[in-house]
Structures are given as C-alpha cells and as structure tokens.
Structure 1
C-alpha cells in the first residue's frame, strides 16, 4: 500500500500535469486523480503544495542571533532566486539560515549567500581595520554601515531577477504554515549615520559592493524572483 509521502508526491505530479497541459480533458483527469489521492490519504491542498518545496540550510557562523545585515543579505539572496528564508538556532551548532523554494531555487540561494557572505565579511573586516582613533562601538557602527552600503549595491544587481509567480507563492506559504507556524517577524532596521565619517562608511560599502561577484559558480539562469517575506524570523 502506498504511504502518505508517496501519495503526496504522486498528487503533486498530477497537479503539475494538469497545469502543464493544453488538453482540457487531460487536465480534468489529472485533477480527479489528485483529488482521489488527497481524499484517500486525508491530505489537503496545503500538504500537497508544501511537498513540492525544497529546503537548504547554511550556517551563519555565529552561536548568537545573526546581525541585521546578515539577515538582510540572506533576504537579498532569497529574492534573487525565487524563494524565502528564515533564521533558526540549532543549540550547539549555532544559527542557520534555512532557504526554501521550488526546484533548485533554495540551493542556488544558499550557495549565493555563502559566497556573498564570505566576500562581505572579508571586506568589512578590512574596512574596520582601517578605522583608527575611535571607540570599539564606533568601529562596529561604521562596520555595520559599510555592510549596509555593500548590500545596497548588491541588491541593485539582483533586481534583474525581480518577478513573482503566484503558484510558487502559494506553495511557499503552505510550506511556511506547515514548518514555521511559530516563527516571528523581525523588522530589519537600518543603521543611522551619526557623523560625516559614518556616511563615508556607507559610501565605501556601496563602492565595494559594486564589485561583488553574485553569480560566480552559480547556475546562470535562476528562476524569477519572489518578493521577500520570510527573513528575520
């Protein structure tokens, strides 16, 4: 007898077949088959849609809650590859970003995040090292402003992928309801410049971010983007 996971997989294929055909008769047959499986195995549409979502995780490299700029970078990558992202703590293993989407989108987003995070951390560290005659708190603020400007520049690069697909949105919402029902939303506030040198930190970040390599080593034809709605949770 078929188990529920197999039934989910088969029902999802039936729905995909119904959506992908130009034949009204074939579409109706596929939908009837999907409905029969759902009724027999007590599945709802959310179960079926969520089954088509794939998740990939990336370590944040920190045991404490990631910074706002880390969350924002993760959201930029999610936007670029048509998926969403949440941050989750894993006790001794530290925090992870969990990208989830259709097909390869979550894998591409997680790869892009890993690549860009490495570049940003390196650039931010080099910039902060040049800050002299100022308090540690000032160095950190300017470092965050640098990262903010860097991500602003990268965000501009990924706008070419902007777009939305209602079927994908529905599937991701179903997955979110099933796996992240207790997630909370966090507002990602921007760091405010206090002095002239702070403003220069943002500009240095934007300048460096324009040279970031967003797609090196990543599939060159990613799916259309989905407007971000999950990072920072």
Structure 2
C-alpha cells in the first residue's frame, strides 16, 4: 500500500530523529531515508514543522464579530495564520477555522478556541434565558447577546495572551512559504456585525465582561512545557 504525504512526513521526522543517533551507520541510513522521502514527496525540509489544526464553528456561513475577535486573539498569540471555511449543508459539512503554524502552536490554538468557544456559547445561552427573557423581538435579543459575547471575549484576552509558547526564528516567513505552496490565493471575508449603526446597550457588554471573569483555560493534552501555562485561569 502506498504511503500518503502525511504518513511520509511522519516517517521523515522519525528518520531525522534517528539521524542524530550515536550509531553512525544507523544515523546515515536514517538520513538517506529522510532525504529520499523528501525528494519523492517534494517536501521542503524548512516546512516539516509547519502543521494545521482544525476546529468547528457553529455558524453556517459568516462568523459574528465576537467569534472573529476570539479567534483573532488566539491566532496572534500563537503566531499562526488562519483560514475560515464555510459549511455546506448539502454535503453535511460544518464551518471551521484552521490554524496554521509551527508545531505545536496550531494544536494549542485549536484547543484554546474549542474550550473558550464552548464556554462563551454556554454563557450566551444563559444570558439570553435570564437577562433577555423579556425581550420579545428576536433580532434585538440576538444583537444584545452579540454585545454580551464581545464583552466576554474581551475579558478572556489575558488568558490567551498568557499562554507561554516558544516560537522559532523565521516563523512568519516559513508559514508564508507554506501557505503559498499549500493554499495559494485565498478570499477574504468581513465578520458579521449585527450592531453596526445600531444604538449600543453598554450594560450588555459589561455583563459579558463580568461573565468572562469566570472563564477557565485549563491544561491541555500531553504537550510538556509548551502546555504548562494552559493551567492559568481566572
């Protein structure tokens, strides 16, 4: 059975690790295997540690401003690049965010988004059921809930920025190179802002800020030192 590109990359990484062995014969064989696979699959050695991590969004087509704020903060903190893909109900696919960066930054970014996204959506649901239960016009209720979420996201910024991750040299240039080779030209989009041009109820925003103070970003997967700071919480 032929080897996939992803399998080849894993094999190359293992061979490169073995190439540092104290056994010169073993190291030489491993290095030759790595070089042969990189040539066969046309894999740039500078991009071996550039990886992607996906996470789902609840939106169908265009994300709201508050969701874009959350993912943007995570992306900048992790020094990643970002792609948003709309869902397609016909094919049963969900909208998703893709973080692209130096391993393990994208996995940490995906973890942080998943954890905080679940929390903000729970907080939003609770806010609608309690503070907005007397609001009868649905679009007004949705707009006010969006403001609440914006305040919530602002309150958790320090949790995201506080994640301690080492980023190697030339990260931006290498990610750009990866993007050009893998994804080419991408379209841009503008997040949906339901409150644009509307009268703002600042109490909703402040309620979101207050709720966000109870957010937590606990330790993630087995990631060693790269994940230690994920134990930080409010």
* TM-score with structure 1 setting the length: 0.68
Pairing of 1:117-128 with structure 2 (within 5 A): 117-128=117-128
1:20 maps to what in 2? none
Pairing of 1:4-43 with structure 2 (within 5 A): none
Residue of 79, 83, 86 corresponding to 1:86: 83
Separation in 2, partners of 1:135, 1:42: 57
Equivalent residues of 1:78, 1:99 under 8 A apart: yes
Separation in 1, partners of 2:169, 2:46: 12
Superposed displacement of residue 155, structure 1: 1.6
Equivalent residues of 2:135, 2:141 under 8 A apart: no
Superposed displacement of residue 54, structure 1: 0.9
Superposed displacement of residue 72, structure 1: 2.3
Matched length: 207
2:147 maps to what in 1? 145
2:70 maps to what in 1? 73
Inter-CA distance 188–49: structure 2 relative to 1 (3 Å threshold):
farther
2:54 maps to what in 1? 57
Pairing of 1:1-233 with structure 2 (within 5 A): 47-91=44-88, 92-129=92-129, 130-131=131-132, 132-161=134-163, 166-188=169-191, 191=195, 194-195=198-199, 198-217=201-220, 221-222=225-226
Q: Secondary structure at the match of 2:53?
A: strand
RMSD value, Cα: 4.0
Bigger relative CO (Cα 8 Å, ≥ 6 apart): 1
Q: Secondary structure at the match of 1:93?
A: coil
In the alignment, structure 2 segments of 5+ residues that lack a partner are: 17-31, 228-234
Separation in 2, partners of 1:166, 1:137: 47
